[in-house]
Structure 1
Amino acid sequence: MTGADRRGSGPGPPGPDLRGTPLNCVAQTWDVQADRLSLPPSGGGTVSVSGRQDPRSDGRGAVKAEQLTGLQPVRPQRAADLIATQLRRRIITSMEDGTALPPEAVLMERFQVARQTLRDAFRVLETEGLLTVRRGAQGGAIVHRPDGSVAARSAALVLASRGASLADVYRARAVLEPSCAALLARNRRADDVATLRGALEQTADTDAVSGIRDLMGFHRLVAHLAGNHTVALLTDLVRHIVEAGSEEQVVADPQSSETERAQRLGHRTHVRLVDLIEQGDHEAARELWRRHLEESEDYLIRGAGSRTVLDLL
């Protein structure tokens, strides 16, 4: 680049740092020591983004306008989305379930926004299951801690739209849960074992429907005590569907010998799993839980209940 392309003969200051700056906020002309950015008028023209020659340029060091195809204008984020982001972070990090947010007037003053903007932010958080807004004199915005149920319902809808079978879901469960059993056995603590044994006591001598709910609750407990939050959430997404299918199967035939046998064997396997966890035998725990889940799948698939996720919705 020639001296005519520079602002002076000296080295000059470095160009401004434009990272994260919207294009429409950048001055139309910037040319310092061969680093040049010249934004053309809206009618077209060329844009020079560097003082170095580019093989795709017009021969004068300016990249042709068509080389910028695909770049999009940068639009500012909506005020409602910014408010939702702040409230979401506060709910997740420091607010208890059932807490009431301050009145609308207080929040409007705090955020310096109109009532409609604040309500738009509330609607965003409602769709995420983090708020319930009650209208009227005794109304207000009530906080809900995220528990995975919203994500589980969304996952069920996606699987239903793809025609997923219940067998597909049960097999996914058989991939996830044995690893939880092994991890829990490897990292067991005395209070984990005590919690599991307490849960087993609740499953004894109950009716068929209550029994299947207790057994499903034990599976959830194993996944969550394993200590991996990500895997626990994934098992929650799958178990939401498994529980619905299992309960439907038992309700349809609560007194059958198949149902009684499945629950009896299930309880016995749960007792054995706790023993293996207490002993720290993680490989035996993994294998036991894998076989148990496969046997449970056989019982549920043979039944007269739903065959697809869509049938459950």
Structure 2
Amino acid sequence: MAAPVFSLPEGRSGADVRSPKTAELLTRRLRRMIVTGELRDGDYLPREAELMAHFGVSRPTLREAVRVLEAESLVEVRRGSRTGARIRVPGPEMVARPAGLLLAVAGTTLGEVLVARLGIEPLAAWLVADRGSDDAIAALVAALDDLTANLAQDDSGGAVGAGFARFHEVVVEQSGNRALVVTAGMIQEILARHMATATRSHFESEPDEVQLQYRRAVRAYEKLISLVRAGEADEAERFWRRHLISANESLLRGFDAAGVIDILE
């Protein structure tokens, strides 16, 4: 039996199937060079004349490609500078705020964000302890040292809230899993702001209780570091989950878990 022959729809042409513009091709080429590391963070693109000669394109084509990359935050162009366009390798923060805004538009609640954190950070704690690298331990210790320094100096709770948020960031960063880091970034964008607000609010209304929570959190962080040092991955995951459940309850005290998140302030 002969294979059926595909019939072209009537009244339509193939005009919408077009070859990519030269600027699109150049954008793809430069983007791939950034992704593969041929162009590294901080590198400056050669001058326009060199790029035009190298790629065989016109000045308008080159500038259109650079504008697209600039809009994607892959290059930084300083107008009037003689140094040209500089490569910027994006970090998790590049997607964190837009993703956070998307969550807010979707009506995501604070409670949902805190539950989502339970699905990310315990796994990250397991990975950190399983790796047990000296660099990871040093990063966790440094984050805890910064936090305790803020505890000793700050009475308002603002810097302290940021310090607590930073320790949680480091746990995920040191997991070595890039997908977790990016996913956690959007959640942390929201929680860092809430932690600062909640810490300040609780400090003003119940300072003694807040000081107790501070001490418990610091002990939990010390315990996690000890589990990482010992390579106790399973226990690190279980312990961090228990700590987060307790921390979530504290963060929600005085706040509406069903309230839609707000990242616009």
Rounded Cα–Cα distance in structure 2 between residues aligned with 1:103 and 1:205: 47
**Alpha carbons 2:121, 2:172 under 8 Å: kept:** yes
CA drift of 1:253 comes to 5.1
The structure 1 residue matched to 2:122, chosen from 178, 198, 220, is: 178
CA offsets per residue over residues 177-229 of structure 1, 9 Å max, x none? 10111122222134432332233222213123222222222222221222222
Residue 30 of structure 2 is matched in structure 1 by 87
- Does residue 309 in structure 1 map to residue 257 in structure 2? no
Matches of residues 127-276 of structure 1 in structure 2 within 5 Å? 127-138=71-82, 140-206=84-150, 207=154, 208-252=157-201, 254-255=203-204, 256-257=206-207, 258-276=209-227
Whichever residue aligns with residue 301 of structure 1, its letter is L
Give the C-alpha shift of residue 169 in structure 1: 1.2
Residue in 1 aligned with 2:229? 278
Distance between the aligned counterparts of 1:95 and 1:66, measured in 2? 44
Higher-Rg structure is 1
Question: Which residue does the alignment assign to 1:32?
Answer: none
The farther-off stretch of 142-151 and 72-81 is 72-81
Q: Which has the higher helix share?
A: 2
TM superposition shift of 1:162:
0.7
Q: CA deviation at 1:67?
A: 8.1
Assess if the C-alpha contact under 8 Å between 2:130 and 2:232 holds in 1.
Answer: yes
In 2 relative to 1, CA 95–159 (structure 1 residues): closer, same or farther, beyond 3 Å?
same
Alignment check: 8 A CA contact 1:133 1:139 kept: no
Q: 1:115 to 1:185 in 2, by over 3 A?
A: same
Paired residues of 2:125 and 2:237 also in contact (CA < 8 A): yes
3-state SS, counterpart of residue 86 of structure 2: strand
In the superposition, relative to structure 1, how do residues 113 and 265 fare at CA in structure 2: closer, same or farther (>3 Å)?
A: same
Report the alpha carbon displacement of residue 273 of structure 1 after superposing the two structures with TM.
Answer: 0.6
Q: 1:281 is aligned with what amino acid?
A: E
- In structure 2, the partner of 1:118 is 62
Q: Choose between structure 1 and 2 for higher RCO, CA contacts under 8 A separated by at least 6 residues.
A: 2
Q: Which structure 2 residue ranges, 5 or more long, are not aligned?
A: none
Other-structure match for 2:42: 98
Contact 1:209–1:251 (Cα < 8 Å) also in 2: yes
In the TM superposition, residue 305 of structure 1 has moved relative to its aligned partner by: 8.8
C-alpha separation between the residues in 2 aligned to 1:305 and 1:124?
Answer: 41
Distance 1:78 1:250, change over 3 A: farther
**Contact preservation (8 Å) 1:183, 1:282:** yes
Task: Give the AA of the match of 2:7.
Answer: A
Per-residue deviation, 1:95: 3.6
Cα RMSD between the aligned structures? Answer: 2.8
Aligned equivalents of 2:226 and 2:2: distance in 1? 72
Q: What is the match of residue 246 of structure 2?
A: 295
Identity %: 32
Task: Number of aligned residue pairs: give it.
Answer: 255
User: CA distance change for structure 1 residues 81 and 285 in 2, over 3 Å: closer, same or farther?
Assistant: same
* TM-score, normalising length: structure 1: 0.72
How far the C-alpha of 1:230 sits from its partner, in A, is 1.6
- Residue 53 of structure 1 aligns to a residue in which SS? coil
Equivalent residue in structure 1 for 2:21, among 61, 69, 78: 78
**126 and 259 in structure 1: CA distance in 2 versus 1, 3 angstrom threshold:** farther
Secondary structure of the 2:149 match is coil
Q: Which amino acid aligns with 1:238?
A: I
Counterparts of 1:21-36 in structure 2, within 5 Å, are none
- Matches of 2:91 and 2:260 in 1, distance apart? 25
Kindly state the Cα deviation for residue 236 of structure 1 after the two structures are TM-superposed: 1.8
Note the residue ranges of structure 1 that are not aligned, 5 or more in a row.
Answer: 1-51, 57-62
- TM-score, normalised to structure 2, is 0.83
